[in-house]
Structure 1
Amino acid sequence: MKIGELAKVTNIPVETIRYYEKIGLLPEPNRDSSGYRSYRNAHLDRLLFIKRCRNLDMAQDEIRELIGLAEQPEADCSDVDALLARHLTHVRERLKELASLEETLVRLQEACTDGRTVRECGILGGLNSELGALEPEDRHNHVPGTHGPGQK
């Protein structure tokens, strides 16, 4: 199948499919006689696997590690379990960060009252005065999609 068909079946943009090829998550397909990429069912299966992992908010390196582990079907599954445990810890930490973010946003929104000008806006004033307090400490979050240095 061609890349457009693969994109349609998986609901993954063509650019993303090419990116996954470029970074090695998806093996490069063979080319047909006219030079077009020719994808097999193995590519479809791999893309769906990657998509499911991304839906679980896994980083590219985690997905790469899982793919490597999946390619050793006779190996002990403890490495897979350990990877998932690490990811679950990360998700739990992120949930705490998001709860803290929610509290901050609620406080800022409560600073707003009707009938004020932008100059008097409690939200903008709070953002200006609390900016240092709002900066994350050494957080390993997914905004904008990373786990932190060396852990993407």
Structure 2
Amino acid sequence: MSAALLTIGEAARRTGVSAKMIRWYEATGLLPPAARSESGYRHYGEADLHTLRFIRRARDLGFSVDAIADLLALWRDRDRPSAGVKAIAQEQIADLRRRITELEGMARTLEHLAGACCGDERPDCPILDDLAAADRPPTPRPQRRGLSGRGAARRAV
């Protein structure tokens, strides 16, 4: 093996992405298939490490796998206008703000319920009563960007 090629374990150590996730990113197409040794072991070069760091940073910022695929395609296209990249970032900002609002609402609800709970030896508990309330309609969950969003940024450019 040449000094420029690294095993999956070394690639994981250098990028902070687990070997399991590296294999998953490869299987989903975010990372190109790794070079293989004669014995079938994966080997990664500097370009692969750079891509893995890109993916890890995008995941750290909360981007979905589909958005990361779009960002990777734009990153690899040196002739792309930046408008597509900005649109994806702005969509992520809006999604994060929606999630923050939801989390703040959940925290307020739990603070109210925890304040109403005596927290003593008695079995009465408004927290459990609220969780068990069968007559309450389910809280709508926000729609996350799914597989249908793949390529949307490229189409918008």
- The verdict on a shared fold, with TM-score over 0.5 as the criterion, is yes
Partner in structure 2 of residue 136 of structure 1: 139
> What is the number of residues matched between the two proteins?
145
User: Of the two structures, which has the highest relative contact order with CA contacts closer than 8 Å and spacing of 6 or more?
Assistant: 2
Q: Deviations over 1:27-73 (max 9, x none)?
A: 11111122211110011000000000000000000000001111211
TM-score, normalized by length of structure 1? 0.86
Partner in structure 1 of residue 96 of structure 2: 91
Partner in structure 2 of residue 9 of structure 1: 14
Quote the offset at 1:10 in angstroms. Answer: 1.5
Identity %: 32
- Structure 2 residue ranges without an equivalent (≥5): 1-5, 151-157
Partner in structure 1 of residue 154 of structure 2: none
Partner in structure 1 of residue 128 of structure 2: 124
**Equivalents in 2 of 1:83, 1:116: separation in Å?**
51
TM-score, normalized by length of structure 2? 0.83
Aligned-residue CA RMSD (Å): 2.0
Aligned ranges 1:57-136 → 2 under 5 Å: 57-118=62-123, 120-129=124-133, 132=136, 135-136=138-139
8 Å CA contact 1:30, 1:37 repeated in 2: yes
Secondary structure, in 3 states, of the residue corresponding to 1:132?
coil
Quote the offset at 1:130 in angstroms. Answer: 7.5
**Equivalents in 2 of 1:131, 1:5: separation in Å?**
54
8 Å CA contact 1:3, 1:38 repeated in 2: yes
